[in-house]
């Protein structure tokens, strides 16, 4: 199928993306295989077995199409293929590439956690809906990285890809040597014959590609794994430790010029007028061009472009949303007073007697602010466009570039890069759109667009702001009821609107991590309240669970204290999902929960189930003369199977630090429609002296293999708030906490 | 203006504006992109290099201030095939996630260890506070600095 044909599928894509917004999905009969994109432009002498494997005389190339944002997924994809293909990633002839953007790399797991079923629900209807969602996502061909879904999407698929090629290579060797398949084994990219001779895959590949693929593939049991489940050295670790890995911002092309943008600091606002005479007078500045919501400066170096942008004088239009922060909070409070958009869970009857008085909780807007500022290198010619950038939606990015440049869709080539962090930022297209606009005006000349940190932060579509109101009941030392209402703008609708898709239905992200809490409370009600017309928002590491998880686990903790129960014991008593219980039990044991603590020390616990992965955390804080110190964190996460244990520990530690740091000292506020933090003097998160010791345990009791990029984030903030209460008696219901107490 | 200085042991002469930060001289003029741009305001440490042996934020050093100085960047500290002890520790501890801050972290750590061969945790905190890691690899950075100290001692 040509790329042009894919465009006609757009209407269907609209439906699929709405799935992540919480629409129930019909069962689509579409269940097609997409063509192998490696067959286009196949190098002379090379053969491809499936979209993930290409073998030629030059070597073995493995495709890792999920975008590497620092989570190590390029390595893990390669390891999944290599495990069954029987190649080793340290072999010089084995290379790993992100591959082209193509529907064959559809992420079948992307929508599963957006369905209106709790992830612990393994009932028939939920199971059928998930299978339908996977088929639909496959049929739509939407390549995307996000929602901690890369590992669930890849776990079986990529091992099957490796095994399929291995069996075909063995079949070719068996035919050539007149031996039975069972006489052969494979190792380090060779088929080994009974006499000990080793035939390199490259020699067999051409014949092997003509073999019929095996009809059934039996994947190896984990006990047979050579790579997975053991400490592995990440493919990128040497380059990232020596400054030799090229990120998008580092790339150059012959004849390239540099560019930067100066955009209306009120996101989405217009340029009313501008004076570029001073900018054009900066030596080295060659052009000033209009781009969406602002201007671009083209120059002979990044620095010169920055200087030119500084010299631009612009009259900016107003913000197309409420300009003042106080009005955003007021809108949330108003929404909570009104009827809910959807009651997501309503178990038991809320008791009709006075209980815990209603408590309000708040979570602010937050920037992604990855350390690599937005950039993109683009080369537009009449017939072709190449763009080198890191994108979590490379196919959608190609569509946007095609529409702007006028280059046919099939002649737009996005070369996906390792990114210097994302946390959701690279699900957006802001840099890609501006690069395409500049590249079109500069047709024929390669241009590298680099945002300043200030422009990046001004236009960082933040995490949704949210507010909650909780009340509840306790009796006989137990929590009896929790009634939690959450108001937030729809992150899904905001994000899909920028992609160009409509969304419908209540957004499950408003209540993610709260409505599906695995606690068997006699009465539990979780409602979502919609709020429109606030600042545009986007997916931020753990999305809705980062706010709703904080509300749920803070409110539950308040009720547990009201009941006079132990925070861990009461959660264990209420928890009705075995993997989540296992996590709570593990952190209890790891932290020696209940052991006597010195004066001024407190511990808090929280557990949130997000993206199907339960994570429990115990945080320990110490009161010191310099302020409160976050000393230690114990974490247990159940991902079904820990595939890359060293990287797993690193991601869990990083997720905890991400969750704690933003809870402590980060917020984006708007004044006159402009985001107030502009650089890392604010919104830095934790730095080395504030980072606690973090002890990690990976559990493998869950039935499914899950992701770990996001799930460690949601429990961190409530566990910290609960620890602060234990240490000081002060209950913090609003982030960032540093607005209320001093941290060391 | 013309500015002569030494980068990674090699004399260089560049023709740039006097106020161009060393960061951009390295990246855009000399093509040494291992040194990263993160904030442009000495808030993140991603652009840390050594100037006459001292860790500096290259986004805050003007080109004219570099004349006659010796600059070492991540590319000059060690190479993939000949790692500096700090880089060796970074690889062994598998510190990096996105890795974008790590050039600066490594240069800062190398400068710390040159001055303080066996730093305490408090000394590590003080030296590394200006180097931001948004991925949160601090526990591994700390472990790698201790491991590198042991290597350099041994």
CATH code of B41's domain:
3.10.20.30
Residue of A72, A79, A371, A696 to mutate when probing chain B, most B C-beta within 10 A: A371
CATH number of the domain at A325-366+461-739, please?
3.30.365.10
Least confident of A16-25, A548-557, B41-50: A16-25
Rounded to the nearest 5 degrees, what angle is found at the Cα of A583, between the Cα atoms of A579 and A585?
110
CATH 3.30.365.10 boundaries in chain A: 3-240, 248-319+374-450, 325-366+461-739
Which residue is closest to B59 within chain A, CA to CA? A303
User: How much is the average pLDDT of A240-267?
Assistant: 98
> Do residues A424 and A460 touch, judged by C-beta distance below 8 A?
no
Which residue is closest to B43 within chain A, CA to CA? A680
Count Cβ atoms below 10 Å from residue A291 Cβ, excluding itself: 20
3-class secondary-structure state, position B61: coil
Separation of alpha carbons A508 and A23, rounded Å: 9
B49 to chain A: which residues are within 8 Å by CB?
Answer: none
Residue B8 shares a structural domain with residue B58: yes
| Per-residue pLDDT at A511 | 97
Pairing of strands A447-450, A375-380: antiparallel
| Per-residue pLDDT at B40 | 98
Inform me whether the C-beta atom of residue B36 falls under 8 Å from chain A C-beta atoms.
Answer: yes
Give tens-digit pLDDT for A486-543. 999 999 999 989 988 777 789 999 999 999 999 999 999 999 999 988 999 999 999 9
What integer best gives the mean pLDDT of chain B?
Answer: 98
Residue B68 shares a structural domain with residue B111: no
Residues A342-375 as b or e (16 or more Cβ within 10 Å = b): bebbeeeebeeeebbeebebbbbbbbbbbbbbbb
**Whether pLDDT at A424 is above 60:** yes
B97 to chain A: which residues are within 8 Å by CB?
Answer: 70-72, 421, 650-651, 654
- Number of helices and strands (H, E) in chain A? 20, 27
> Do residues B51 and B93 touch, judged by C-beta distance below 8 A?
no
Count Cβ atoms below 10 Å from residue A384 Cβ, excluding itself: 14
| Per-residue pLDDT at A21 | 35
**Whether pLDDT at A5 is above 90:** no
Strand spans (E) along A490-611: 523-531, 601-610
> Do residues B148 and B107 touch, judged by C-beta distance below 8 A?
no
Count Cβ atoms below 10 Å from residue A160 Cβ, excluding itself: 18
Residues A88-110 as b or e (16 or more Cβ within 10 Å = b): ebeeebbebebbbbbbbbbbbbb
| Per-residue pLDDT at A317 | 98
**Whether pLDDT at A683 is above 70:** yes
B24·A303 Cβ contact <8 A = yes
Inform me whether the C-beta atom of residue B142 falls under 8 Å from chain A C-beta atoms.
Answer: yes
Q: What's the helix, strand, coil split of chain B in %, to 5?
A: 40, 20, 40
Instruction: Report the residue from A236, A653, A687 with minimal CB separation from B139.
Output: A653
Separation of alpha carbons A715 and A583, rounded Å: 12
**Whether pLDDT at A10 is above 90:** no
| Per-residue pLDDT at A9 | 33
Which residues of A, range 524-543, sit inside 8 Å of B by Cβ? none
DSSP A743: B
| Per-residue pLDDT at A4 | 33
| Per-residue pLDDT at A501 | 79
The last residue of one of the domains, among B53, B77, B101, is B77
User: How much is the average pLDDT of A156-169?
Assistant: 96
**Whether pLDDT at A591 is above 70:** yes
B34 to chain A: which residues are within 8 Å by CB?
Answer: 242-244
Inform me whether the C-beta atom of residue A237 falls under 8 Å from chain B C-beta atoms.
Answer: yes
A647·B94 Cβ contact <8 A = yes
B24·A302 Cβ contact <8 A = yes
| Per-residue pLDDT at A119 | 86
Separation of alpha carbons A432 and A188, rounded Å: 40
| Per-residue pLDDT at A480 | 96
Inform me whether the C-beta atom of residue A709 falls under 8 Å from chain B C-beta atoms.
Answer: no
Give tens-digit pLDDT for A351-378. 888 888 999 999 999 999 999 999 999 9
Fold of A3-240: Aldehyde Oxidoreductase; domain 4 (3.30.365)
Inform me whether the C-beta atom of residue A30 falls under 8 Å from chain B C-beta atoms.
Answer: no
B100 to chain A: which residues are within 8 Å by CB?
Answer: 70, 247, 370-372, 420-421
Separation of alpha carbons A741 and A724, rounded Å: 10
A423 to chain B: which residues are within 8 Å by CB?
Answer: 134
**Whether pLDDT at A223 is above 60:** yes
**Whether pLDDT at A11 is above 80:** no
| Per-residue pLDDT at A415 | 98
Of A693, A423, A422, the closest CA to residue B138 belongs to A693
A239 to chain B: which residues are within 8 Å by CB?
Answer: 80, 99
A230 to chain B: which residues are within 8 Å by CB?
Answer: none
- Band the pLDDT of B12: cuts 50, 70, 90: very high
> Do residues A136 and A108 touch, judged by C-beta distance below 8 A?
no
A243·B101 Cβ contact <8 A = no
Which residues of A, range 282-311, sit inside 8 Å of B by Cβ? 283-284, 301-304, 306
Give the residue, A333 or A25, on which the prediction is more confident: A333
CA distance A442 to chain B (A): 20
**Whether pLDDT at A672 is above 60:** yes
Least confident of A379-388, A497-506, B9-18, B123-132: A497-506
B80·A242 Cβ contact <8 A = yes
| Per-residue pLDDT at B19 | 96
B80·A238 Cβ contact <8 A = yes
Instruction: Write out the residue range of the structural domain in which residue B58 sits.
Output: 2-77
| Per-residue pLDDT at A171 | 97
The last residue of one of the domains, among B20, B49, B77, is B77
Residue B63 shares a structural domain with residue B97: no
Residue B35 shares a structural domain with residue B92: no
CA distance B29 to chain A (A): 8
User: How much is the average pLDDT of A681-686?
Assistant: 95
Separation of alpha carbons A392 and A389, rounded Å: 10
Could you say which of 3.30.365.10, 3.30.60.50, 3.40.50.720, 1.10.260.30 is the CATH number of the domain covering A248-319+374-450? 3.30.365.10
Which residue in this structure is represented by tokens 């979570």? Answer: A363
**A734-to-A403, A456, B43, B131 alpha-carbon distances in Å:** 43, 26, 26, 28
Q: Which two tokens stand for residue A288?
A: 């000033």
CA distance B104 to chain A (A): 9
The ipTM assigned to this model is 0.99
Give A195-203 contacts, CB < 8 A, sequence gap 24+: A199/A173, A201/A55, A201/A60, A201/A87, A201/A169, A202/A55, A202/A56, A202/A57, A202/A59, A202/A60, A202/A93
Residue B69 shares a structural domain with residue B124: no
**Whether pLDDT at A161 is above 90:** yes
The proportion of chain A whose per-residue pLDDT surpasses 70, expressed as a percent, equals 96
Inform me whether the C-beta atom of residue B106 falls under 8 Å from chain A C-beta atoms.
Answer: yes
Inform me whether the C-beta atom of residue A638 falls under 8 Å from chain B C-beta atoms.
Answer: no
CA distance A681 to chain B (A): 6
The last residue of one of the domains, among B77, B93, B111, is B77
Counting the structural domains of chain B, the total is 2
Residue A212, C-beta contacts closer than 8 angstroms, at least 6 positions apart = none
| Per-residue pLDDT at A103 | 95
3-class secondary-structure state, position A695: strand
| CATH code of the domain covering residue B94 | 1.10.150.120
Separation of alpha carbons A149 and A105, rounded Å: 13
| Per-residue pLDDT at A207 | 96
What integer best gives the mean pLDDT of chain A?
Answer: 94
Residue B41 shares a structural domain with residue B97: no
Inform me whether the C-beta atom of residue A653 falls under 8 Å from chain B C-beta atoms.
Answer: yes
3-class secondary-structure state, position A559: helix
Inform me whether the C-beta atom of residue B21 falls under 8 Å from chain A C-beta atoms.
Answer: yes
Which residues of A, range 666-685, sit inside 8 Å of B by Cβ? 679-681, 684-685
Give tens-digit pLDDT for A426-480. 999 999 999 999 999 999 999 999 999 999 999 999 999 999 999 999 999 999 9
Which residue is closest to A69 within chain B, CA to CA? B98
CA distance A422 to chain B (A): 9
Residue B96 shares a structural domain with residue B31: no
Residue of A71, A72, A241, A655 to mutate when probing chain B, most B C-beta within 10 A: A241
B74 to chain A: which residues are within 8 Å by CB?
Answer: 242-243
């Amino acid at each position: 199928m040509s790329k042009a044909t894919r465009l006609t599928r757009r209407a269907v894509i609209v439906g699929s993306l709405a799935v992540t917004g919480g629409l129930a999905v019909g069962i689509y009969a579409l269940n097609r295989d997409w063509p192998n994109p490696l067959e286009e432009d196949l190098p002379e002498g090379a053969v491809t077995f499936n979209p993930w494997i290409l073998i030629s005389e030059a070597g073995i190339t493995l495709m890792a199409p999920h975008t590497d944002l620092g989570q190590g997924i390029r390595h893990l994809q390669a390891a999944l293929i290599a495990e069954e293909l029987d190649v080793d990633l340290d072999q010089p002839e084995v290379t790993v590439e992100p591959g082209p953007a193509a529907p064959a790399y559809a992420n079948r797991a992307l929508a599963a956690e957006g369905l209106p079923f709790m992830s612990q629900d393994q009932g028939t209807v939920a199971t059928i809906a998930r299978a339908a969602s996977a088929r639909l996502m496959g049929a739509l061909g939407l390549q995307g990285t996000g929602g901690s879904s890369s590992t669930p999407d890849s776990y079986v698929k990529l091992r099957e890809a490796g095994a399929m090629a291995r069996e075909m290579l063995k079949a070719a060797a068996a035919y050539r040597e007149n031996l039975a398949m069972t006489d052969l084994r494979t190792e380090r990219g060779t088929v080994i014959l009974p006499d000990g001779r080793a035939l390199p895959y490259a020699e067999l590949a051409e014949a092997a590609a003509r073999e019929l693929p095996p009809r059934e593939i039996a994947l190896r049991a984990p006990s047979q794994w050579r790579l997975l489940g053991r400490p592995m050295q990440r493919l990128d670790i040497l380059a990232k430790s020596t400054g030799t890995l090229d990120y998008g911002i580092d790339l150059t092309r012959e004849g390239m010029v540099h560019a930067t943008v100066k955009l209306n600091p009120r996101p989405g606002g217009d340029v009313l007028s501008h004076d570029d005479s001073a900018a054009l007078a900066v030596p080295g500045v060659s052009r000033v061009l209009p781009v969406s919501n602002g201007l671009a400066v083209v120059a002979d170096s990044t620095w010169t472009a920055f200087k030119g942008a500084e010299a631009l004088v612009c009259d900016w239009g107003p913000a197309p949303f409420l300009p003042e922060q106080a009005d955003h909070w007021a809108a949330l409070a108003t929404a909570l007073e009104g009827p809910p958009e959807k009651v997501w869970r309503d178990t038991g009857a809320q008791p009709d007697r006075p209980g815990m008085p209603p408590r309000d909780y708040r979570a602010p807007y937050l920037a992604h602010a990855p350390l690599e500022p937005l950039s993109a290198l683009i080369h537009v010619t009449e017939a072709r466009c190449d763009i080198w950038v890191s994108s979590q939606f490379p196919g959608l990015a190609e569509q946007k570039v095609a529409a702007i440049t006028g280059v046919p869709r099939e002649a737009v080539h996005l070369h996906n890069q390792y990114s210097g962090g994302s946390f959701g930022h690279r699900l957006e297209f802001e840099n890609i759109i501006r690069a395409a606009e500049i590249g079109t005006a500069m047709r024929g000349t390669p241009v590298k667009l680099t945002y300043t940190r200030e422009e990046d932060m001004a236009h960082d579509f933040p995490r949704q702001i949210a507010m909650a109101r909780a009340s509840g009941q306790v009796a006989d030392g137990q929590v009896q009821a929790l009634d939690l209402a959450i108001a937030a703008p729809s992150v899904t609708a905001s994000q899909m609107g920028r992609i160009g898709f409509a969304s419908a239905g209540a957004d499950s992200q408003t209540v993610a991590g709260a409505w599906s809490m695995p606690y068997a409370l006699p009465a539990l009600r979780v409602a979502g309240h919609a709020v429109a017309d606030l600042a545009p928002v986007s997916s931020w590491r753990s999305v809705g669970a980062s706010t709703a998880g904080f509300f749920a686990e803070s409110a539950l903790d308040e009720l547990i204290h009201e009941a006079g129960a132990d925070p861990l014991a009461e959660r264990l008593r209420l928890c009705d999902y075995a993997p989540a219980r296992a996590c709570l039990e593990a952190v209890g044991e790891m932290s020696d929960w209940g052991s006597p603590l010195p004066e001024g020390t407190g511990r808090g616990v929280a557990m949130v189930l997000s993206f199907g992965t339960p994570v429990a955390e115990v945080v320990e804080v110490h009161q010191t003369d310099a302020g409160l110190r976050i000393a230690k964190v114990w974490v247990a996460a159940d991902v079904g199977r820990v595939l890359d244990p060293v990287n797993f520990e690193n991601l869990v530690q990083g997720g905890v630090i991400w969750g704690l740091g933003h809870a402590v000292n980060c917020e984006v506020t708007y004044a006159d429609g402009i985001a107030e933090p502009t650089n890392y003097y604010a919104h830095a998160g934790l730095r080395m002296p504030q980072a606690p010791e973090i002890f990690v345990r990976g559990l493998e009791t869950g039935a499914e293999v899950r992701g770990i990029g996001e799930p460690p984030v949601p429990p961190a903030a409530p566990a910290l708030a609960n620890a602060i209460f234990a240490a000081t008696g002060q209950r913090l219901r609003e982030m960032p906490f540093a607005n209320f107490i001093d941290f060391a | 203006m013309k500015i002569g200085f030494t980068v990674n042991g090699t004399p260089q002469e560049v023709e740039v504006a006097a106020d161009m930060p060393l960061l951009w001289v390295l990246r855009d003029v000399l093509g040494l992109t291992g040194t990263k741009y993160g904030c442009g305001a000495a808030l993140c440490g991603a652009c840390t290099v050594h100037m006459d042996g001292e860790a500096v934020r290259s986004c805050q050093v003007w080109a004219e201030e570099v004349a006659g100085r010796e600059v070492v960047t991540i590319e000059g500290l060690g190479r993939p095939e000949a790692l500096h002890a700090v880089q060796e520790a970074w690889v062994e501890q598998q510190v990096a996630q996105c890795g974008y801050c790590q050039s600066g972290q490594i240069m800062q750590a190398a400068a710390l260890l040159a001055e303080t061969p066996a730093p305490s945790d408090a000394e590590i905190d003080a030296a590394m506070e200006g180097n931001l890691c948004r991925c949160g690899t601090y526990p591994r950075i700390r472990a790698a600095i201790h491991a590198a100290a042991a290597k350099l001692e041994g």
